[in-house]
Amino acid sequence: MDKQTFTEIIQTKFKMVRIEAGYTQDTMANTVGLSKKTLVQIEKERVLPNWTTCVSICALFRDSDVLNTTFGCDPLEVIQIISRHHCAYPNHDNTSDIYWVTIDSKAGYTLQSNKKSDLYRVLNEERQPIFGTAKNREAETYFLRKTQSLFV
């Protein structure tokens, strides 16, 4: 697959990704950094999104079922391979731990805050991030939901 083919595929999935995320056209345009007029033109398949817009969609909506089903894997992996002609699979086990402080740990889940960026995340039993937010309360609520649901 090349950039042109990838861009054409993203164009056909743009509206579905927006709807799947529950976004209005205004919200999607602001999130991706487009004018609403451009977004509408892309959704009507009158204008191809540029490469940067395709990368943004895949990065911001990498958990999209639409994108993952379309490409059969994480869309960022596809972008990396197309752009760099290879894909790196870094081991994140301990390298980023110096920036994260554990707030709470229970039932295999871990709630952490980032020392530099004031972000929060929840890790699963395999120490993979499963939720991230800039709001402490949102992170705590998600963490409590995950850990309490195990005991119900």
- In tens digits, the chain (152 residues) has pLDDT values of 889 999 999 999 999 999 999 999 999 999 999 999 999 999 999 999 999 999 999 999 999 999 999 988 889 888 888 888 766 665 555 545 678 899 999 999 999 998 888 889 999 998 888 888 888 999 999 999 999 865 54
**Sign of torsion over alpha carbons 133, 135, 136, 140:** negative
β-pairing verdict for 109-114 and 100-106: antiparallel
**Residue 55: which of 81, 85, 75, 27 has the closest Cα?**
75
Q: What does pTM read for this prediction?
A: 0.66
